[in-house]
Amino acid sequence: MRIGVFGGTFDPVHVGHLMVAEQCREQAGLDRVLFIPAARPPHKQDRVLTPFVHRAEMLALAIAGQPAFQVDDLEKERPGPSYTVDTLEELHQRHPAAELGLVIGSDCLPDLQFWREPARIIKLAGLVIAARPGWSMWTPEQLRLTLGLSSAEILHIQVVAMPLIDISSRDLRGRVAQRRSIRYLVPRAVECYIDTQRLYQDEAES
């Protein structure tokens, strides 16, 4: 069993997230992709997030119809910041026989060294890296050097080619606040949910 681990705030989830997950599933041969919404992301503690229940529900609506995709709320009740290494540890305990692949964008690679216990992350999961617009793909040698890994340490990397479509949740929140269209940028069910729940309508950011 190969399980892709796709974490994020998903505030809101959009078609870019879904494209990444599907291309990683196909090209990296993943049997399942777990979407794991962060409860308290350590790098966004200065911003008020949309309540977890709404973000998780939007994810569920977005992935409906793809049996290989699943929402996992394991970070919901865990106290403290939502660290990736803790999530991978828990998933490893739940699925000891599975091979975990951490789905990340190439834009995350420069910051990986600043995550909690990056060397431990690499031991718990391989990296399934999706190209992002404007960000070059790092070589294994660059990652080893940046993370302080020796040549003897195993580093599993799979690079996923995909259309370079630049969509951000921040931009979508701004569009909703400005009463602009988000049609075709998010699944229709997510668009309707945002409208009926009146999410993001009072945000000032663009």
Q: What's the pLDDT tens digit per position in 87-128? A: 999 999 999 999 999 999 999 999 999 999 999 999 999 999
Q: Is residue 138 part of a domain?
A: yes
- In whole angstroms, what separates CA 46 from the centre of its chain? 19
Query: How many domains is the chain built from?
Result: 1
Domain that holds residue 87: 2-164
- 19 part of a folded domain: yes
Predicted pLDDT of residue 204: 47
Instruction: Provide mean pLDDT across the span 4-20.
Output: 97
Angle between helix 52-63 and 188-197 (nearest 10): 150
Residue 194 lies inside a defined structural domain of this protein: no
Whether the per-residue pLDDT at 29 is higher than 70: the answer is: yes
In a domain, 60, yes or no: yes
What is residue 205's predicted lDDT score, i.e. its pLDDT?
42
Q: If DSSP codes are grouped into helix, strand and coil, which group holds residue 8?
A: strand
Tell me whether residue 172 is in a domain. no
Do 118 and 83 contact (CB within 8 A), yes or no?
no
Nearest Cα residue to 128 out of 161, 94, 86, 91: 161
Q: Provide the pLDDT confidence category of residue 203 given band limits of 50, 70 and 90.
A: low
Nearest 10 degrees: CA dihedral of 126, 128, 129, 130? -170
State the pLDDT at residue 45: 66
Q: What is the pLDDT of residues 126-156, one digit of tens each?
A: 999 998 888 888 888 889 999 888 888 888 9
pLDDT for residue 3: 98
- Whether residue 174 lies inside any domain: the answer is no
Domain membership of residue 195 (yes or no) is no
Strand partners, 117: none
Distance CA 107, CA 147 (A): 16
Beta bridge partners of 128: 103, 158
Question: pTM of the predicted model, to two decimals?
Answer: 0.92
Cα(70)–Cα(34) distance, integer angstroms = 5
**CATH number for the domain including 35?**
3.40.50.620
pLDDT tens per residue, range 38-85:
998 887 666 789 999 999 999 999 999 999 999 999 999 888 889 999
In this prediction, residue 206 carries a pLDDT of 34
- Mean predicted confidence (pLDDT) in 186-205: 89
Residue type, 109: L
Does 122 map to a domain? yes
DSSP conformational letter for 111: G
**Tokens linked to 150:** 């020796």
